[in-house]
Structure 1
Amino acid sequence: MSDAEQPVIRDKRRLDPTTGELRTAEEVAAADAAATAAAERAAEAGALPGEEPDGGASETPDLASAGAASGATDADDPVAAAKAEAADLQDQLARAKADLYNLDQRFNQFVKRSRVEVQAEKLRGVESVVEALVPVLDDVDAARAHGGLEGPLAAVVEKLESTLTTRFEVERFGAVGEEFDPNVHEALMHAASDEVESETVTQVLQPGYRVGERVVRPARVAVTGPQ
């Protein structure tokens, strides 16, 4: 469009578009002159009033492209990748420590059970030996009671009994005057008397033997109870 065809811009508004106040005649003339001068400058630059001098809209950044570029930057960020890898390694380390702790606890429990089982097997072995020796010990006790245990044989028997007592916790029990206890006594005879107030052992027919707290054989006794 030629300069002659350019529209003429006039600003005859009596109200100021900015303040909303009534303009004077001088202010209307000044606004009109300013509008005309702006139109002439726009015509000389080849653009209509309100447009950019190059005739195009103002440039705006492509937000989608910028976001994509930002995402690509984050994905390629070596610091972020290193942090992610460190977090994964920390998780693996925590799991490995938990597995090691559980394994250590199971091993400790295994050791404890093994020690208990070994001790129990040892005790059962001693009990088995004592059970086999009980008849011999009965004969030794009977020989001692009748004065038939003398000389070198007596020394050997005492050594055997001492070894059973000190090394294997073998104990002989059962005595006249004890209160009858069915857990450690076996009554072979029973009588009644006014001289006793409770069930009392009045005769030991065969002594009892125990290993530690376990009774290998109860004491076989005669019991007298109140009338």
Structure 2
Amino acid sequence: MDDILDTPQSQDAEAADAASSDGDAAPAGDSEGHRLAEERLEDLRRLQAEFVNFKNRTAREKDQLRDFVSGEMIAALLPVLDDVDAARKAGDLEEGPFAAIATKLEDALVKKGLTRIGEVGENFDPTIHEAVMQQPTDEVEPDHVSMVLRSGFKVGNRVVRAAQVAVAAQP
């Protein structure tokens, strides 16, 4: 923008400046110079607005791409998280070096925005849950998650994998 402002004036603009410095000697030239200056100022404002919009759009697209790539990378690690969960449930990862590694992996993924979805008792939501079966039960209200068969995950607002659940039904 400084380049535009530092450029030498055109002959029309110089004539308009000279006419305006003469006072009332050339009112027609003054209005022409003023109109030209207003047009150029409006063009400059429009160009500046376009640049700001471009800058904001590219920043937003960059953030979306980063989130997408992070989601794809985390999605590739989900089978590892499933194995870690299975090992914890079996009691194989209570202590030792592998338990520490599993904890570090989970903590690193949480820092990157990974959240687990699918809890027993949640209201069934088809955008984040995948209903695998219905289960007649009195323990959970109907149309709520009665059992989580496989955890789901989100990265930010994006569902990377839907939770596979059983949905409670009237007994």
Change in CA separation of 1:144 and 1:197 when aligned onto 2, cut-off 3 Å: closer
Matched with 2:18 is none
Matched with 1:118 is 62
Matched with 1:39 is none
AA matched with 1:92:
L
Is 171-180 or 186-195 further displaced after alignment? 186-195
CA shift, 1:119, in A, is 0.9
Q: What is the TM-score when the length of structure 2 is the normalising length?
A: 0.78
Change in CA separation of 1:171 and 1:79 when aligned onto 2, cut-off 3 Å: closer
Matched with 1:95 is 39
| Aligned residues of 1:199 and 1:226 also touching (Cα < 8 A) | no
C-alpha distance in 2 between matches for 1:83 and 1:196: 85
1:160 aligns with 2:105: yes
C-alpha distance in 1 between matches for 2:47 and 2:146: 59
CA shift, 1:105, in A, is 0.8
| Aligned residues of 2:121 and 2:141 also touching (Cα < 8 A) | no
C-alpha distance in 2 between matches for 1:175 and 1:185: 10
Higher relative contact order (CA 8 A, sep 6+): 2
Aligned mate of 2:131, from 187, 192, 200: 187
Matched with 1:57 is none
| Aligned residues of 1:196 and 1:226 also touching (Cα < 8 A) | no
Unpaired runs of 5+ residues, structure 1, are 1-77
RMSD value, Cα: 1.9
Q: What is the TM-score when the length of structure 1 is the normalising length?
A: 0.60
CA shift, 1:85, in A, is 2.5
Give the count of matched residue pairs: 149
